[in-house]
Amino acid sequence: MPGRAYQCLRPRPEPEVFDGFAEWYGYGDADADAQTVAGQPKKLDGYQEWFGYPDDIAPTTSMYLPDRDPGDDEQHDQSQRLAMEATEMSLTLVQSAIEERRCQLASKHGDEAEQLQQEIHQLKLQQARLARALWSLHEETGTG
């Protein structure tokens, strides 16, 4: 009896149903291609049939957008110009700070005046360092 029960209840393979769409549109062939047996060559796809694939793959190279290329001289020149503009702006700010201290110096006496003179001296030293940096930036870029 167990043999008969197994025969009655076992899963049976579904009968293959003819699909007219698969025949007409060709997607039945794609299923057949997926079931290729090892050792048999796989069918070529449409692109490979027409153009073919290269046998060897070319080595990859680094590609940069034009505004991000690290080896581009224009990018370097632009960063140099920005540095020069920032240095010039810093020089202007230091000069205005020196002028403010000089105006305050006229009304101060004693220790306060001495402190303002020291601040002015420090600002002049900073101004000289900025001017030297700006001069070296001008020499690097070749602008005069």
> What are phi and psi for residue 19, nearest 5 degrees?
-115, 110
pLDDT, one tens digit per residue, over 3-13 is: 566 566 666 76
Least confident of 12-16, 27-31, 138-142: 27-31
Domain chopping of the chain, boundaries: 73-141
pTM, two decimals, is: 0.46
CA distance 98 to 67: 39
Are 91 and 130 contacting, i.e. CB atoms less than 8 angstroms apart?
yes
